[in-house]
């Protein structure tokens, strides 16, 4: 292990990506290796078969690349703690931590609200954000948490806390990059119910909490070299979005695609492919973290002609609320550790 650590400290950047085996996460890995074949990439995935398949695909296009696998289920406290322990054994630094894993379970598409929206002035906003047309049915994890909150937010928060010693090192900077969403909604989030036990929009709530948490991490850890940013990949066709209309057979999706390309002329947020969706994640890889605005969300956008670009948009986030959420998450972490007898 000492030798491994010595090797990792000898420069090549260390990049860990959660949810790296499919969709936007996998596309990011492909693009990262395309730009810097020397980096040490760690695919953190819950399913090792899918992780191995992703690794094989990456190695097929980038033979000789250093691609490691890590078992990580962000919805499980035990899994996060074990994974963090393993990371600390393998690496002596962490340059980029991409917190990308996410779920939108049992999505319910409100067809009536959708058609009402289509014939209203709000049509472009509705298509860009999915606001008002989606609900989800959440469940409870083995740790007794709401699954969406645990997967999208808390597991990642715990990972950052566990990896602070690698992320915050004297004389270096590191970047924590969250895949948030344009679907993050303040109206879905409540400080009294951070896990969203009561409502029917756990996804929007978890993504809004992500935006808040990123701001708080900057407040607390910039002085130690850790910089946090959030991105939105746009509307991308992935496992997550195909599940919204599962009754749609494949051929129907192909018929709808020209409609989506048409809509893209009016809202550049229809990035549609994981490659396009990963644009903002890749752009952040090249930025000096000190130059980034902690209150901006970096959006991947694709023009009607198919050209990619990124756009920073100010987030609707209040510093006090972000601090209050941070305190709640620390309390929750404290409770979790106490129950496990590790504090």
Ligand X SMILES: CC(C)CCC[C@@H](C)[C@H]1CC[C@H]2C3=C(CC[C@]12C)[C@@]1(C)CCC(=O)C[C@@H]1CC3
Catalytic residues: 203
The neighbour count for residue 200, using CB atoms within 10 Å, is 15
134 binds, among ligand NDP, ligand X, none (CB under 5 to 8 A by kind): ligand X
256 binds, among ligand NDP, ligand X, none (CB under 5 to 8 A by kind): ligand X
CA pair distance 147, 139, nearest whole angstrom: 5
Chain residues 155-184 in contact with ligand X, contact rule CB under 6 A:
181-183
Chain residues 81-120 in contact with ligand X, contact rule CB under 6 A:
104
151 binds, among ligand NDP, ligand X, none (CB under 5 to 8 A by kind): ligand NDP
Q: Least distance to ligand X from the beta carbon of 311, Å? A: 15
Q: Which two tokens stand for residue 127?
A: 């298509």
With 0-12 / 13-18 / 19 or more C-beta atoms within 10 angstroms meaning exposed / middle / buried, residue 300 is buried
Residue recorded with tokens 């980029």: 96
Q: Least distance to ligand NDP from the beta carbon of 197, Å? A: 18
CA pair distance 264, 127, nearest whole angstrom: 10
Chain residues 243-262 in contact with ligand X, contact rule CB under 6 A:
244-245, 256
With 0-12 / 13-18 / 19 or more C-beta atoms within 10 angstroms meaning exposed / middle / buried, residue 174 is buried
Q: Is 19 in the site for ligand X (CB under 6 A)?
A: no
Q: Is 214 in the site for ligand X (CB under 6 A)?
A: no
Q: Least distance to ligand X from the beta carbon of 297, Å? A: 12
Per CB under 6 A, the segment of 4-12, 93-101, 127-135, 311-319 that binds ligand X is 127-135
| Integer-rounded Cα radius of gyration of the chain | 19
- Looking at beta carbons only, is 133 or 177 nearer to ligand X? 133
CA pair distance 88, 215, nearest whole angstrom: 25
Q: Least distance to ligand X from the beta carbon of 260, Å? A: 8
Per CB under 6 A, the segment of 4-12, 32-40, 125-133, 222-230 that binds ligand X is 125-133
- Looking at beta carbons only, is 245 or 265 nearer to ligand X? 245
Q: DSSP for 8-77, please give it.
A: HHSSPPEEEEETTTSHHHHHHHHHHHHH-TTSEEEEEES-HHHHHHHHHHHHHHSTT-EEEEEE--TT-H
127 binds, among ligand NDP, ligand X, none (CB under 5 to 8 A by kind): ligand X
In this structure, what are the phi and psi dihedrals at residue 334, rounded to the nearest 5 degrees?
-60, -45
Q: Which two tokens stand for residue 21?
A: 């085996």
The site for ligand X (CB under 6 A) is made up of 104, 127, 129-130, 133-134, 181-183, 235, 241, 244-245, 256
């Amino acid at each position: 292990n000492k030798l491994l650590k010595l090797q990792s400290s000898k420069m090549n950047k260390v990049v860990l990506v959660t949810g790296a085996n499919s969709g936007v996460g996998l596309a990011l890995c492909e693009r990262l290796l395309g730009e810097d074949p020397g980096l040490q990439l760690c695919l953190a995935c819950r399913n090792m078969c899918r992780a191995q398949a992703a690794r094989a695909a990456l190695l097929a296009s980038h033979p000789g690349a250093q691609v490691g696998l890590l078992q990580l289920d962000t919805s499980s406290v035990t899994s996060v703690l074990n994974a963090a322990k393993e990371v600390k054994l393998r690496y002596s630094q962490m340059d980029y931590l991409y917190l990308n894993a996410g779920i939108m379970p049992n999505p319910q598409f409100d067809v009536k609200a959708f058609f009402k929206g289509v014939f209203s002035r709000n049509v472009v906003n509705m298509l860009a954000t999915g606001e008002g047309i989606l609900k989800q049915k959440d469940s409870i994890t083995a740790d007794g948490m709401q699954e969406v909150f645990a997967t999208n937010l808390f597991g990642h928060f715990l990972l950052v806390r566990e990896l602070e010693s690698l992320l915050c090192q004297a004389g270096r900077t590191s970047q924590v990059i969250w895949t948030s969403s344009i679907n993050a909604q303040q109206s879905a989030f409540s400080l009294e119910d951070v896990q969203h036990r009561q409502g029917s929009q756990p996804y929007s709530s978890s993504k809004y909490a992500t935006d808040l948490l990123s701001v708080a991490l900057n407040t607390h850890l910039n002085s130690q070299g850790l910089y946090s940013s959030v991105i939105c990949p746009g509307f991308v066709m992935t496992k997550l979005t195909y599940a919204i209309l599962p009754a749609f057979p494949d051929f129907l999706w192909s018929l709808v695609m020209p409609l989506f390309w048409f809509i893209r002329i009016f809202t550049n947020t229809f990035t549609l492919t994981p490659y396009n969706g990963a644009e903002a994640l890749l752009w952040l890889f090249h930025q000096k973290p000190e130059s980034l605005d902690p209150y901006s969300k970096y959006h991947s956008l694709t023009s009607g002609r198919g050209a990619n670009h990124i756009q920073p948009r100010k987030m609707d986030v209040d510093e006090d609320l972000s601090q209050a959420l941070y305190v709640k998450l620390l309390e929750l972490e404290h409770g979790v550790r106490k129950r496990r007898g590790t504090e």
